[in-house]
Structure 1
Amino acid sequence: MKTLFKNARLIDPEAETDALGWLLVEGGTILAIGTGQPPAADNVIDCARKCLAPGIVDIGVKVCEPGERHKESFGSAGAAAAAGGVTTMVTRPDTQPAIDTPEVLEFVTRRAREASPVRIKPMAALTKGREGREMVEIGFLQDAGAVAFTDGDQVVENNKVLSRAMTYARSLGALVIAHPQDPGLSAGASATSGKFASLRGLPAVSPMAERMALDRDLALVEMTGVKYHADQITTARALPALERAKGNGRDVTAGVSIHHLTLNELDVGDYRTFFKVKPPLRAETDRVALVEAVASGLIDVICSMHTPQDEESKRLPYEEAAAGAVALETLLPAALRLVHADAIALPRLWRALSLNPARRLGLDTGRLATGAPADLVLFDPDAPFVLDRFTLRSKSLNTPFDGARMQGRVLGTWVAGKHIFEGG
């Protein structure tokens, strides 16, 4: 059966165009795209001049299976992703136990297939137990479906262990994803050092901790030649090192979380723990520099860094509260703040949300092109609403955007041409 999306604002991140047209889907793939008179189809969807774009590919989603299913399951995360226009979740291995063997990875893959309406691409740990002592069986895990290898925010401190893992990953063409934060400097920190942290009496970490760790990682990348992705760049001081590495031809990319693009350290206010994330929120000058880096293409990927935490772990003194925020449903409207502020155009934004992450992982999604999978999101970029966290589909409701005025509602989400979510 052919499905026609007509009268749509087509957001094409590959061509970087934003134009009125139509899109024809058949058998789970995009059959044709054009302007002018649309062809006949069995099913016609009038998009009413709303935006039709590739579904979001979100790197770094934490689904708490196995081990902490009460925080988030594949079912609840999949429902939240569909409602947020996310059609591919790239999941983290920082579970209990860590995803560090083919058996655990196969369990996760099976659970995802059974419960989630969106695509799941799992990452595996880089070292056993994420303990930084012994690398995992990268080849076996790659064969079992791991798309990348990372210890998440548990930084591998031993340079010899990390260099060996990178060398082995390089021989297999595997992608290593790292969290550039010096673990010694950042241990116990819950804010960025500066006047605000001092006034609030919060344990803080210097932005230099990120630059130092990134410099270390990039030196090892130069030594090993591995494919490398920094999961979150959050400070202006780290950007020159990233720019040099790219200019020198290293196979390096970088991401940033939506919270570091749209919030700053002052949002913590009077110790509001829903704003406690890792790394901590930065200065406004850092936030502005990151937005400019995304607009220029220096930072490649925008991600949700979806990290569910239950109420008990957040209702604690700020320095003791767990770090992290849910963001699968808020990623799109929060990212549209950058568009409404004229900081970035929609097609360039969608390069960072969809095209670039798909390319980095070798996926064929993230494009509006003939033959590409029909993973699509239809959204109204201007629809205003006030976010109520109790309407979110995640099991955990720890969002910093609770009560915030936002713009941008998902009207529909499709995976392989199948309609998996319809919004109001």
Structure 2
Amino acid sequence: MSRILISNGRLIDPASGLDEIGDVAIADGRIVRLGGQIEDFTPDRRIDASGQWVIPGLIDLSARLREPGATRKADITSESRAAAAAGITSLVMPPDTTPVMDTPSVVELVSHRADITGAARVVPLGALTRELAGGQLSGMAGLAAAGCPALSDGGRPITDSLVLRRALEYASTFSLPCLLTPVDPCLAQGCLNEGPTATRLGLPGIPAAAETAGLGRQLAVAGASRARVHFGRLSSADGARLLTTALGENRRLTADVAIHQLFLTDQDAMEYDTRFHLDPPLRDIIDREALRQAVADRVIRIICSDHQPHDQDAKDGPFASTAPGASGLDTLLALVLRLVEEEVLPLHRALATVTLEPARLLGLEGGRIDEGAAADLVVVDPVAPWFCTEESLRSRGRNSPFLGWEFSARATHTLVAGRLVHQPDPP
């Protein structure tokens, strides 16, 4: 494994608060020296990071890679390479693949495919129940042994509360966090937020009550268990308020929000643009501002891309008949840094939401810059303007709701366990 010296970069570590100009020496996949000018280290390769930032590699808590089962949309190779180019070193993959990741053999298949690609690492989540059907519990011990650091309902909530409680209690015996989707499927029969925009467009709406009804039930069950429970992709002000109250009684709870919910609203779909058909749906500006405040207050501690790449056919057609979801890998880092520009979050806190906090939730090594830590690092040019276009996206999914936006930062080099997996294209 090569020895690498990153020199003269602004080292920013959300774990320790480090913020200084210095060098990083990497050997055997780990950071061996840090800070100042490192002169007694002989590298095989030097990366001059003058005028650039060196930050921990991003950990995306929700990224669907479409393999196995839907490789016409994307696959592990295409999306892990796109992630590396976007400064993401770990992709956390929900278990709703085909077949479902409810057995060690499927988990091992995914891990093997990611290993041979040699780009961003893939972290598979095991299914809480067999085939995500919400009936029988999965073989959690086997999934943990196969490399799953947590279990998930894969976006398909367990509607039987007794099964949910048993799943949470069983998972807690293996110290596995459980990632749940806060929604009542019976109320979520629509394609846009229930409100004036949906009414004006003549589209069936999804009320915020769909989220709070599901979240309230799951909070009650979580309170009766010893499990660490994480709620994925909150979308409403009511949901954020409900979680705030629950945190006062149960500190084992955590939550995340998809980055697009912090910038977009249902009004962006006014032209029936299917790129804004998302699940959970975009809500109104009051919800967006409440979610931003919840992130600022650390009620919501993690931001994810909720990456869901689609082929063109899935997004062509009447709004309600198209597939929900957005492609989010390429824009995650730039949007997190825009939250800093808009003074929603300070820099270290913003970076923590996509590095330190997801690493803590899943017990992963990454998320920090420290001597002895795994060398999952990104060199970022903070003043490298670029436009989000279909041509600039590395993901095979072109269904980004941010097409046409201009951003002011991007990754130049990405290292995973000391391996350089992304660097600038040769001139």
Query: What TM-score results when the alignment is normalised by the length of structure 2?
Result: 0.95
Work out whether residues 10 and 19 of structure 1, in 8 Å CA contact, stay in contact via their aligned partners in 2. yes
Work out whether residues 16 and 348 of structure 1, in 8 Å CA contact, stay in contact via their aligned partners in 2. no
Query: Which residue does 1:185 correspond to in 2?
Result: 187
Is 1:330 the equivalent of 2:331? yes
Task: Provide the aligned C-alpha RMSD in A.
Answer: 1.5
Work out whether residues 56 and 368 of structure 2, in 8 Å CA contact, stay in contact via their aligned partners in 1. yes
Of residues 84-93 and 208-217 in structure 1, the stretch that sits farther from structure 2 once superposed is 208-217
Q: CA deviation at 1:390?
A: 2.7
Q: CA deviation at 1:47?
A: 0.7
Structure-1 separation of matches of 2:363 and 2:181: 21
Query: Which residue does 1:265 correspond to in 2?
Result: 266
Is 1:405 the equivalent of 2:406? yes
Query: Which residue does 1:51 correspond to in 2?
Result: 53
SS in 1 for 2:152: coil
Q: CA deviation at 1:20?
A: 2.3
Query: Which residue does 1:140 correspond to in 2?
Result: 142
Equivalent residue letter for 1:357: P
Work out whether residues 62 and 307 of structure 1, in 8 Å CA contact, stay in contact via their aligned partners in 2. yes
Structure-2 separation of matches of 1:296 and 1:358: 19
Structure-2 separation of matches of 1:2 and 1:136: 42
Work out whether residues 253 and 299 of structure 1, in 8 Å CA contact, stay in contact via their aligned partners in 2. yes
Query: Which residue does 2:71 correspond to in 1?
Result: 69
Q: CA deviation at 1:127?
A: 1.3
Work out whether residues 414 and 420 of structure 1, in 8 Å CA contact, stay in contact via their aligned partners in 2. yes
Work out whether residues 118 and 421 of structure 2, in 8 Å CA contact, stay in contact via their aligned partners in 1. no
- 1:319-398 aligned within 5 A: 319-398=320-399
Query: Which residue does 2:244 correspond to in 1?
Result: 243
Work out whether residues 83 and 423 of structure 1, in 8 Å CA contact, stay in contact via their aligned partners in 2. no
Query: Which residue does 1:234 correspond to in 2?
Result: 235
Equivalent residue letter for 2:72: H
SS in 2 for 1:11: strand
Work out whether residues 5 and 23 of structure 2, in 8 Å CA contact, stay in contact via their aligned partners in 1. yes
Q: CA deviation at 1:381?
A: 2.2
Q: CA deviation at 1:17?
A: 4.1
Structure-1 separation of matches of 2:255 and 2:208: 17
Q: CA deviation at 1:146?
A: 1.4
Query: Which residue does 1:165 correspond to in 2?
Result: 167
Query: Which residue does 1:206 correspond to in 2?
Result: 207
Of residues 2-11 and 57-66 in structure 1, the stretch that sits farther from structure 2 once superposed is 2-11
- 1:112 paired residue among 114, 125, 130: 114
Q: CA deviation at 1:396?
A: 2.2
Deviations 1:129-175 (A, max 9, x none): 11111111111111111121112221111111111111111122111
Is 1:298 the equivalent of 2:302? no
Q: CA deviation at 1:72?
A: 1.3
Structure-1 separation of matches of 2:307 and 2:107: 20
Query: Which residue does 2:38 correspond to in 1?
Result: 38
Structure-2 separation of matches of 1:383 and 1:235: 33
SS in 1 for 2:408: strand
Q: CA deviation at 1:116?
A: 4.2
- 1:266-285 aligned within 5 A: 266-285=267-286
- Between the aligned residues of both structures, percent identity stands at 37
SS in 2 for 1:98: coil
SS in 1 for 2:12: strand
Work out whether residues 70 and 395 of structure 1, in 8 Å CA contact, stay in contact via their aligned partners in 2. no
SS in 2 for 1:414: strand
- 1:95-106 aligned within 5 A: 95-106=97-108
Q: CA deviation at 1:250?
A: 3.4
Q: CA deviation at 1:311?
A: 0.7
Work out whether residues 124 and 146 of structure 1, in 8 Å CA contact, stay in contact via their aligned partners in 2. yes
Structure-2 separation of matches of 1:345 and 1:279: 27
Structure-1 separation of matches of 2:47 and 2:309: 35
Deviations 1:177-200 (A, max 9, x none): 01101111102x111111111111
Structure-1 separation of matches of 2:264 and 2:55: 25
Query: Which residue does 1:124 correspond to in 2?
Result: 126
Structure-1 separation of matches of 2:118 and 2:183: 32
Number of residues of Structure 1 aligned to a counterpart in Structure 2: 422
Cα 1:304–1:399, aligned 2, differ >3 Å: closer, same or farther? Answer: same
Structure-2 separation of matches of 1:250 and 1:297: 12
SS in 2 for 1:382: coil
SS in 2 for 1:368: coil
Equivalent residue letter for 2:361: R
Q: CA deviation at 1:23?
A: 1.9
- 1:3-14 aligned within 5 A: 3-14=4-15
Of residues 48-57 and 96-105 in structure 1, the stretch that sits farther from structure 2 once superposed is 96-105
Query: What TM-score results when the alignment is normalised by the length of structure 1?
Result: 0.96
Work out whether residues 262 and 337 of structure 1, in 8 Å CA contact, stay in contact via their aligned partners in 2. no
Structure-2 separation of matches of 1:285 and 1:185: 21
SS in 2 for 1:388: coil
Structure-2 separation of matches of 1:24 and 1:102: 36
- 1:151-162 aligned within 5 A: 151-162=153-164
Q: CA deviation at 1:45?
A: 2.2
Deviations 1:306-361 (A, max 9, x none): 11111111001111110011111111112222111122122111110011001110
SS in 1 for 2:70: coil
Structure-2 separation of matches of 1:408 and 1:53: 13
Q: CA deviation at 1:377?
A: 0.6
- Structure 2, unmatched stretches of 5+, are none
Equivalent residue letter for 1:307: Q
Work out whether residues 74 and 116 of structure 1, in 8 Å CA contact, stay in contact via their aligned partners in 2. no
Q: CA deviation at 1:293?
A: 1.8
- 1:93 paired residue among 92, 95, 102: 95
Equivalent residue letter for 1:181: V
Structure-2 separation of matches of 1:387 and 1:38: 37
